[in-house]
Structure 1
Amino acid sequence: MAYLLLYVDNIILIFSSHDLRKSIMTLLASEFAMKDLGPLSYFPGIAVTRHGDGLFLSHTSYARDIIARSGMASCNPSTTLVDTKQKLNTFAGTLCDDPTLYWSFAGAL
């Protein structure tokens, strides 16, 4: 059994045997320019830590980067991010002049 996870030009390969790994790596290398970077430790936005019973995947550094880009690194955490008692209205407040920054944060999430 083999799993191939592909994201743009990053690939994670997981094999059930060493012979299968060698065979598939040889086939892929004959078609594509590629490097074997060894055991997985990072995949775009995901840090990978190995443990005895499996892998731990974490988005901590990715989340910290989004918080830093938003200028909120010095803000205090809150269990509820909004006032749950306030009633929102579609006509209240002012429109954002340039929503591009907001969109980039929403897209990153």
Structure 2
Amino acid sequence: MAYLLLYVDDIILTASSDDLHKSIISRLSSEFAMKDLGPLSYFLGIAVTRHDSGLFLSQKKYADEILERAGMSSCKSCPTPVDTKPKLSAK
């Protein structure tokens, strides 16, 4: 099984095996000029960190950039009004 996300000229690809991943990359490379940027770390304002237990997604950097552009980076923050303890998981 493989999942491929295409956004304009960026691709995220994940596959159930290294062989399948390499096969898909090979086929795509034969048709399109491509550069492998390695493991996913940042995409569309979302920082991605891989752990043994899964992926951690964060938009802190993106939020900081928005505050900087708006001239609000020195403003005091307030607590998030949402419970941050629940974990999302596939069942």
TM over 0.5: yes
User: CA-to-partner distance for each residue in 1:12-63, whole Å, 9 max, x for gaps?
Assistant: 1000111111211111001111011111111131111111111111111000
Within 5 Å, which residues of 2 pair with 1:38-49?
38-49=38-49
User: CA-to-partner distance for each residue in 1:79-106, whole Å, 9 max, x for gaps?
Assistant: 59xxxxxxxxxxxxxxxxxxxxxxxxxx
Deviation at 1:78, TM superposition (A): 3.7
CA radius of gyration, larger in: 1
| Whole-angstrom distance in 2 between the partners of 1:76 and 1:22 | 47
Moved over 6 A (4+): none
Residue 26 of structure 1: aligned partner: 26
Residue 15 of structure 2: aligned partner: 15
**2:51 pairs with 1:59:** no
| Whole-angstrom distance in 2 between the partners of 1:50 and 1:16 | 16
Residue 4 of structure 1: aligned partner: 4
Residue 70 of structure 2: aligned partner: 70
How many percent identity over aligned positions?
69
* Runs of 5+ consecutive residues of structure 1 not aligned to the other structure: 81-109
TM-score, length of structure 1 as denominator length = 0.67
Give the superposed CA RMSD: 1.5
Q: Secondary structure at the match of 2:3?
A: strand
Residue 50 of structure 2: aligned partner: 50
Bigger share in strand:
2
Number of positions where the alignment pairs a residue of Structure 1 with one of Structure 2? 80
* Runs of 5+ consecutive residues of structure 2 not aligned to the other structure: 81-91
